[in-house]
């Protein structure tokens, strides 16, 4: 690796000699990161599939400088890998390409090495997982302990009688050891191992690979399965269903929206610019939602090459243009109306943050002096950052109407920036300053379709009296719709939503209960009620309030990766045998913690899962449970046979001993 030393000297060292605080140079042709480092100059395109399971490359930008004189900004400027993920290059991830200023190198400061890195922590959690108490093994050990106790009694009894009869020592030892082998069958471990080996082979034949064979014996008792939503129950990709525009605080009708030309509207400009797409080897790459959004408007995206960037003192902006088909055939009357010259440059990007649930960009149209800010994100978050008069009064009702139907809804907003914000000032401006007093533009409605196999598989599990639970990071109402469509929630059941509120301003955490169809009515839990939990990040510090969530909960929405693991532990705490099925993205902890974790991803993150399926749908779950139950049945049958053999042999031994005793007595 290349490390910057004093006087801007570059020194080549091996990666094992890198320590926190070193300033490393990221090569332009890409590299595999050997440590965790925060980017201080330039921009990188990174593939983080090894850690997250997501194969979509992400853009990493340099760490912004705090505003001088702003005390609040200085407090918030303390570096944290969790808060500054978009500026951190994690160990094990692949840097695909870099973008840089003229004469400058792309530099990063090392913050963690070895097992302290993100990859190191993943490896450590795989090597030393939290021990799981398997009741089957506990009962098996108890059974063997009882057999050992019986063998010990027989051993002592045999020795005492033999000594009393003055039997030779050699015969005493042989007879005593024979009793132990009769009581504790030596064939039991071999029989159990043979069953596991054959089960592993049969699983491999149906495309399921196992790296933890001992789980096969245990998981025949599974009575609850947790499913991730996106990519597991539903398809990975999203389809553009439609848009719902807003002007002057009112929804536009379909007729007016259809008749109006949208090419030069702020709504389309936001769709064309507010994304993190990039070109890798000439192909657009990025989030599937952003790809579908740009595909819907058919705009083209162009990025400056490394040679072009090196000729300028700043990174050349990404440019988007409308398709040629929409350009007028006749020449325009004025330069302002000339569509052939219409293009938008993306000056600065504020990447998407899962904590903020939004992203934004600063862009400028060709020939204009003032810049525009475009915002995209969760509808509730975007609406809170817009002027009240620009948001329709029935915004919440319209949003719920779409989310109840299972659509994924994204909101857009726009603001004209002040003329004093030049290019250089925009590069250092605070994100909160840009994302304020926005004008609400409307909604983009995306559709996430169910996988064809999902309803039938869930029906099979229900017939087998196996409870199913959805664990997702998506919107609650969208999750409810998917749960109803796939049959996880029967039509006749009532739905109760539990909004989990994290502790704030000295107040304790609490749960607000409400009916999904009757928001104003406070529910009283009944046996057939379906509880659905959502809310801000919460680590379940609720004591007794957690019990109804675990026992009645069917859908858990807005769940962070660590909360999924906590949920698995809570379900195991009430004596459930839990299976977890996910696509490997942010499910590693839950897959490892569950009694039976099934990954649908063949990426490196699936190493954390005991089982990995080649089939990219949940049809592997019933197949795995059937195989596990077959092994359990075989194990119990083997134990019963060996137990009966012990009884018969022990009975025969007693008869022989009585005959021997009578024979000796006659003499």
Domain boundary among 73, 94, 124: 124
Shared domain check, 532 and 614: yes
Shared domain check, 589 and 486: yes
Task: Provide the mean pLDDT of the chain.
Answer: 77
Q: Give domain status of residue 334, yes or no.
A: no
Shared domain check, 553 and 535: yes
How many structural domains is the chain composed of? 4
pLDDT tens for each residue of 179-204: 777 666 677 777 777 888 888 888 88
Structural domain including 642 reads 135-196+629-666
Averaged pLDDT for residues 138-152: 77
Shared domain check, 516 and 422: no
Shared domain check, 161 and 184: yes
Domain boundary among 399, 426, 447: 447
pLDDT at 634: 77
Find the range with the poorest average confidence among 138-152, 186-200, 309-323. Answer: 309-323
Q: How confident is the model at residue 26 (pLDDT cuts 50, 70, 90)?
A: confident
Find the range with the poorest average confidence among 67-81, 141-155, 326-340. Answer: 326-340
Our measurement of the distance from residue 339's CA atom to the centroid of its chain's CA atoms, rounded to an integer in Å, reads 43
pLDDT at 454: 92
Q: Give domain status of residue 644, yes or no.
A: yes
Q: Is the pLDDT of residue 226 over 90?
A: yes
Shared domain check, 601 and 542: yes
Cα→Cα distances 367→82, 371, 426, Å: 40, 11, 18
Helix (H) or strand (E) holding 510: strand 510-515
Report which of 233, 152, 200, 165 is spatially closest to residue 484, judged by C-alpha positions: 233
Q: Give domain status of residue 585, yes or no.
A: yes
Shared domain check, 395 and 294: yes
Averaged pLDDT for residues 594-599: 88
d(CA 639, CA 624): 23
Averaged pLDDT for residues 518-529: 51
d(CA 284, CA 271): 15
Four-CA torsion 598, 600, 605, 608, nearest 10 degrees = 10
Which listed residue (36, 133, 178, 228) is catalytic? Answer: 228
Q: CB pairs under 8 A, 24+ apart, for 17-24?
A: 18/110, 18/113, 19/110, 19/113, 20/110, 20/111, 20/112, 20/113, 21/109, 21/110, 22/109, 22/110, 23/107, 23/108, 23/109, 23/110, 24/107, 24/108, 24/109, 24/110
Shared domain check, 551 and 502: yes
Q: Are 57 and 286 in contact (CB under 8 A)?
A: yes
Q: Is the pLDDT of residue 498 over 90?
A: no
pLDDT at 333: 47
Q: How confident is the model at residue 92 (pLDDT cuts 50, 70, 90)?
A: confident
Question: Domain of 23: which CATH number?
Answer: 2.70.150.10
d(CA 54, CA 615): 17
Q: Give domain status of residue 532, yes or no.
A: yes
Q: Give domain status of residue 102, yes or no.
A: yes
Q: Give domain status of residue 332, yes or no.
A: no
Shared domain check, 557 and 425: no
More confident residue, 181 or 312: 181
Shared domain check, 423 and 542: no
Total count of residues recorded for the chain: 667
More confident residue, 466 or 323: 466
Shared domain check, 72 and 181: no
Strand-pairing partners, residue 364, are: 345
Domain boundary among 590, 606, 624: 624
Sheet holding 553-556, edge to edge: 208-210, 611-613, 596-599, 578-582, 224-227, 467-471, 553-556, 530-535, 495-501, 510-515
Q: Give domain status of residue 600, yes or no.
A: yes
Question: Domain of 438: which CATH number?
Answer: 3.40.1110.10
Q: Give domain status of residue 604, yes or no.
A: yes
Q: CB pairs under 8 A, 24+ apart, for 320-327?
A: 320/272, 320/273, 320/294, 320/344, 320/346, 322/263, 322/272, 322/297, 322/298, 323/298, 323/299, 325/298, 326/263, 326/298
Per-residue burial over 403-435, b if 16 or more Cβ lie within 10 Å, else e, is beebbbbbbbbbbebeeebeeeebeebebeebb
pLDDT tens for each residue of 369-383: 888 999 998 888 899
Q: Are 98 and 43 in contact (CB under 8 A)?
A: yes
Q: How confident is the model at residue 162 (pLDDT cuts 50, 70, 90)?
A: confident
Question: Domain of 589: which CATH number?
Answer: 3.40.50.1000
d(CA 440, CA 395): 11
pLDDT at 541: 46
Is the alpha carbon torsion for 162, 167, 169, 173 positive or negative? negative
Shared domain check, 528 and 433: no
Catalytic annotation present for 239? no
């Amino acid at each position: 690796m290349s490390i910057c030393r004093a006087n801007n000297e570059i020194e080549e060292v091996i990666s094992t000699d890198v320590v926190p605080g070193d300033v490393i140079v990221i090569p332009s042709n890409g590299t595999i990161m050997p440590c965790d480092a925060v980017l201080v100059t330039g921009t990188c395109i990174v593939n983080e599939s090894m850690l997250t399971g997501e194969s979509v490359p992400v853009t990493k930008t340099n760490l912004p400088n705090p505003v001088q004189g702003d005390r609040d900004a200085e407090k918030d400027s303390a570096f944290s890998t969790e808060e500054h993920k978009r500026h951190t290059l994690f160990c094990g991830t692949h840097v695909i390409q870099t973008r840089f200023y003229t004469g400058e190198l792309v530099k990063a400061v090392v913050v963690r090495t070895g097992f302290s890195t993100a990859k190191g922590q993943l490896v450590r959690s795989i090597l030393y997982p939290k021990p799981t108490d398997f009741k089957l093994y506990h009962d098996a050990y108890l059974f063997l302990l009882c057999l050992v106790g019986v063998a010990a009694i027989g051993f002592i009894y045999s020795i005492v009688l033999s000594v009393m009869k003055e039997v030779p020592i050699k015969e005493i030892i042989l007879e005593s050891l024979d009793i132990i082998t009769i009581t504790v069958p030596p064939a039991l471990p071999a029989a159990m191992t043979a069953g596991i080996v054959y089960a592993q082979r049969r699983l491999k034949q149906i495309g399921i690979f196992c790296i933890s064979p001992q789980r096969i014996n245990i998981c025949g008792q599974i009575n609850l399965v947790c499913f991730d939503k996106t990519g597991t129950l539903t398809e990975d990709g999203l389809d553009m269903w439609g848009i719902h525009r807003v002007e002057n605080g009112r929804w536009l009708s379909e007729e007016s929206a259809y008749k109006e030309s949208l090419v030069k509207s702020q709504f389309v400009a936001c769709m064309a610019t507010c994304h993190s797409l990039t070109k890798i080897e000439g192909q657009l790459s990025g989030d599937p939602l952003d790809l579908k959004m740009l595909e819907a408007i058919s705009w083209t995206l162009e990025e400056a090459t490394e040679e072009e960037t090196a000729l300028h003192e700043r990174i050349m902006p990404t440019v988007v243009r409308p398709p040629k088909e929409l350009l007028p055939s006749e020449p325009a009357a004025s330069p302002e109306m000339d569509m052939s010259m219409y293009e938008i440059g993306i000056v600065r990007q504020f990447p998407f943050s899962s904590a903020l649930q939004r992203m934004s960009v600063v862009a400028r149209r060709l020939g204009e002096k003032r810049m525009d800010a475009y915002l995209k994100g969760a509808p509730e978050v975007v609406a809170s950052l817009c002027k009240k008069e620009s948001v329709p009064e029935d915004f919440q009702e319209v949003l719920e109407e779409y989310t109840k139907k299972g659509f994924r809804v994204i909101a857009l907003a726009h603001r004209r920036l002040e003329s004093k914000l030049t290019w250089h000032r925009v590069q250092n401006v605070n994100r909160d300053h840009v994302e304020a007093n926005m004008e609400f533009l409307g909604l983009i409605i995306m559709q996430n379709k169910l996988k064809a196999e999902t309803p039938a598989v869930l029906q099979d599990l229900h017939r087998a009296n196996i409870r199913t639970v959805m664990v997702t990071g998506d919107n609650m109402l969208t999750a409810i719709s998917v749960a109803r469509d796939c049959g996880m929630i029967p039509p006749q059941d009532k739905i109760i939503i539990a909004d989990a509120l994290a502790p704030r301003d000295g107040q304790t955490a609490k749960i607000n209960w409400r009916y999904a169809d009757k928001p104003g009515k406070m529910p009283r839990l009944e046996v057939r009620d379906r509880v659905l939990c959502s809310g801000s990040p919460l680590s379940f510090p609720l004591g007794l309030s957690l019990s109804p969530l675990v026992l009645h909960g069917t859908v858990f929405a807005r769940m962070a990766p660590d909360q999924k693991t906590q949920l698995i532990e809570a379900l195991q705490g009430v004596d459930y045998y839990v299976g977890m099925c996910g696509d490997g993205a942010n499910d590693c902890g839950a897959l490892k913690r569950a009694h039976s974790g099934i990954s649908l991803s063949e990426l490196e993150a699936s190493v954390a899962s005991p089982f990995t399926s080649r089939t990219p749908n949940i049809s592997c779950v019933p197949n795995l449970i059937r195989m596990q139950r077959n092994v359990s049945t075989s194990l119990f049958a083997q134990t019963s046979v060996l137990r009966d053999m012990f009884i018969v042999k022990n009975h025969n031994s007693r008869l022989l001993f009585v005959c021997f005793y009578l024979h000796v007595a006659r003499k």
